[in-house]
A and B are shown apart, each in its own frame.
Chain A
Amino acid sequence: EAGVAQSPRYKIIEKRQSVAFWCNPISGHATLYWYQQILGQGPKLLIQFQNNGVVDDSQLPKDRFSAERLKGVDSTLKIQPAKLEDSAVYLCASSRDYQNNEQFFGPGTRLTVL
């Protein structure tokens, strides 16, 4: 079974630029999560999808962050415009369904904002 795929693995941009990250979850997994992990901290949930609907986006900074999962499979997370404090690893995870507690994580995208 292929794992969660993410791209790009690394991205360096200047502040006020835009950036997008892509995630392909494990096949058949209905629930998809985006986490932000700042250096020295644990992952923090940004947004959770169940199929193509948003379940929880309470911690997503909606003035600059957006995410979509149009066909209930792949997802993109966008930051526009980026700030210095957005430098972090962005992790995508998926789980089989809403009832399943175990989440499988991708390798993450390391974003550096200069």
Chain B
Amino acid sequence: DQQVKQNSPSLSVQEGRISILNCDYTNSMFDYFLWYKKYPAEGPTFLISISSIKDKNEDGRFTVFLNKSAKHLSLHIVPSQPGDSAVYFCAAKPQGAQKLVFGQGTRLTINP
């Protein structure tokens, strides 16, 4: 029962262009969503988050959009840089709990 799904295992984007990573969820009781970035041999690093009462949160080159009716969120990175090459995990927090439910991850490769 995969409650958080990242359907694209990999994504390749040209440097300077926009990267869009997608995430779908099935549980309407999630009240907080986070994106983590992971380099090889390191633990995931927090990137950006959004509360379920909002539809957009922006932090520098990173913007997260939440569409509650579609149970869909996306991470936009613009402009994409070579250092953005990593695996990106979408995570969701159930209401009333502190645990995170993670998607499978999307490997982003930024080409020079």
With A and B bound together, what is the CA distance between A40 and B10 in angstroms? 11
Q: Give which listed residue, B6, B43, B44, B99, contacts A56 with CB less than 8 A.
A: B99
With A and B bound together, what is the CA distance between A47 and B103 in angstroms? 18
With A and B bound together, what is the CA distance between A55 and B94 in angstroms? 14
Residues 82-112 (chain B) with a chain A CB within 8 angstroms: 89, 91, 93, 97-105
A55 touches B43 (CB 8 A): no
B104 touches A93 (CB 8 A): no
> Which residues does chain A contribute within 8 Å of B100, judged by CB atoms?
43, 45, 103
With A and B bound together, what is the CA distance between A107 and B46 in angstroms? 13
> Which residues does chain A contribute within 8 Å of B43, judged by CB atoms?
4, 91, 93, 105-108
> Which residues does chain A contribute within 8 Å of B34, judged by CB atoms?
101-102
> Which residues does chain A contribute within 8 Å of B99, judged by CB atoms?
33, 45, 48, 56
With A and B bound together, what is the CA distance between A103 and B6 in angstroms? 20
B89 touches A42 (CB 8 A): yes
Q: Flag whether B81 is at the interface (Cβ < 8 A).
A: no
B42 touches A43 (CB 8 A): no
A41 touches B104 (CB 8 A): yes
Q: Give which listed residue, A44, A101, A104, contacts B102 with CB less than 8 A.
A: A44
> Which residues does chain B contribute within 8 Å of A41, judged by CB atoms?
104-105
B102 touches A42 (CB 8 A): yes
